Amino acid sequence: MTRTAGEVTALPGVRIWLGRVLADLNRGRSCLWLLPRKLLEDPDCPADRLFDELLHELADFVLLPSDDPAVPPIVRPRMPTLAPAPARWSGLAPVLDYDDGLSDLFSVTAPPPAEAEPSAPPTPAEALASLLERLAKELDFTGTGTEATGHDTAGDVLARLTGGRTGPAETRPVIVRAWREPVPSAAAHLLRRLVATGKEAGLPPARRPRALVVASTDDLPTGLPGQLAREDIAVHWWWGATGRLDTATVVALARPPVNSAVDRHHLHEAVTQATIAEVCGPFLDVAAALAARWKDGRLETLSASLHDVIAALPVPEAIPPRGAEGTRTSGQRPNESLLFAWNAAAVDSWDGRLRHHPCQDLDHQHVVTARVWLAQNQVLLPLLDDAREHFAATVRLRARVPLPRLAEEYGPRRDPGAAPEPGDLVDTLELGAMWGAHRDGAIALTPRERHRLRTLRDARNLLAHRSPLDGNQLHHLIKELCR
């Protein structure tokens, strides 16, 4: 998704996914939005574009960390480095510019600088108190009463959020970008404390304070998403957010326009776009790059184009085994065994099935071939069925035997005792049966009709045996379908 982040927010699947988060917030529920670590750490940060689109739909909100340019950005604490050794002055008294011979006797070397001790990370309570202190400043909670309570700063700010100090309850969503917090886990503690405080105050859902925490699983305590009370906190995983329509949209936008009024050129383009969408799945950056790279749409050049595209794009760090490829997914979240690969944006759910990054297909040509076959099936099978139905009229015209006999010998089997329906049974003759009737002399076809029927039959047989059409076969089939 990294290269097409600008267009992702307009895709239908993403709009639906963001709409679910907005619906939960508008109902008064707090939300936890989990994104892969790769989307948060990428230099372009695609998560920012998704996040901005969500904020654009909210009427009002409180954002942490603040985007105020006057406030210095918050950085996570790091281990301090050693102080550099002084370059010019050693800390000794200055020496006059003459040599009396005694300097070598009384020379003193400066002691090495003391190693700075690393600062201890804040405790969970301190991190939560710091987060709530900044939240209180954003909400302009002056005189929070901490002087009177003396110690529970967190409890005091939470009480103010629920209107506990005779003020109105804060109903604006509190949005916390946990991946930009110095202690990301503090956002999760805020989420749980906020929900518990609102329930204890007896407020109805529409008047409770609510929060949206955006984070990766690496930012949260282990197992936290599964421990949250789902009736109070909605957990939204970035899993299966895009589907076939989204990938097809990205591919169509990345393809050069077909500057031709010939129908077969447009049909060939439809097969090419369906193939790219099936091969790339939910990995929209690969789909857009392959759509621009694979010019001719021939099966013979697909593998080389895919290699070139993968070589030019960053490869995910975590590649899981292929054992679960194509299996059905729950549609809600990745399995625990896939979390590491999910954080690396190496796996996703697409149309309800698990999909791996296309870089895994480079050494598995049979997988690419199977996906090409599936794409050709989706586009060509309806057209082949239409062509078969139209050719039935030719069969009637060229039949050398009575139609009831033709239907009985070459048509589909009927149940014993069923009344014959010659017209309907001729309409249901398969392409292979029509060709067999021609070979047996029951149908007399012209050379042109024979060539058309053989092309349709061969293509249908290949697809029926899970074999995709190569470049020449596809060209001949499309030529016949568009006559």
User: What's the rounded Cα separation, in Å, for the pair 139 and 38?
Assistant: 32
Give the predicted TM-score (pTM) of the model.
Answer: 0.83
State residue 123's pLDDT score: 82
**Whether the Cβ atoms of residue 319 and residue 356 lie closer than 8 Å to each other:** yes
Residues in the chain, overall count: 483
Q: What is the 8-class DSSP label of residue 421? A: -
pLDDT digits (tens, 9 = 90+) for 371-416: 999 999 999 999 999 999 999 999 999 999 988 888 888 887 766 6
Rg (CA), the chain: 34
Q: Which residues pair with 236 in a beta bridge?
A: 33
Centre a 10 Å sphere on the Cβ of residue 305 and count the other Cβ atoms it contains: 21
Which residues, given as ranges, of the chain have pLDDT below 50? 2-3, 5, 73, 75-108, 144-150, 422
DSSP helix/strand/coil, 34: strand
Q: Please name which of 323, 353, 321 lies closest in space to residue 340, comparing C-alpha atoms.
A: 321
Burial class of residue 303 (count of CB atoms within 10 Å of its CB; 0-12, 13-18, 19+): middle
User: What's the rounded Cα separation, in Å, for the pair 279 and 267?
Assistant: 18
State residue 15's pLDDT score: 94
User: What's the rounded Cα separation, in Å, for the pair 279 and 366?
Assistant: 12
* Strand pairing class (347-350; 353-356): antiparallel
**Whether the Cβ atoms of residue 404 and residue 452 lie closer than 8 Å to each other:** no
Structure-token pair, residue 83: 């102080």
Q: What is the 8-class DSSP label of residue 234? A: E
Query: What burial letters (b/e) apply to 426-449, b meaning 16+ CB within 10 Å?
Result: bbebebbbbbbbbeeebbebeeeb
State residue 144's pLDDT score: 44
pLDDT digits (tens, 9 = 90+) for 10-44: 999 999 999 999 999 998 899 999 999 999 987 77
User: What's the rounded Cα separation, in Å, for the pair 210 and 66?
Assistant: 18
* Residue that has been written with the tokens 């296309």 in this structure: 358
State residue 235's pLDDT score: 94
State residue 413's pLDDT score: 72
- Establish how many alpha carbons lie within 13 A of residue 101's alpha carbon, considering only the half-sphere containing its beta carbon: 0
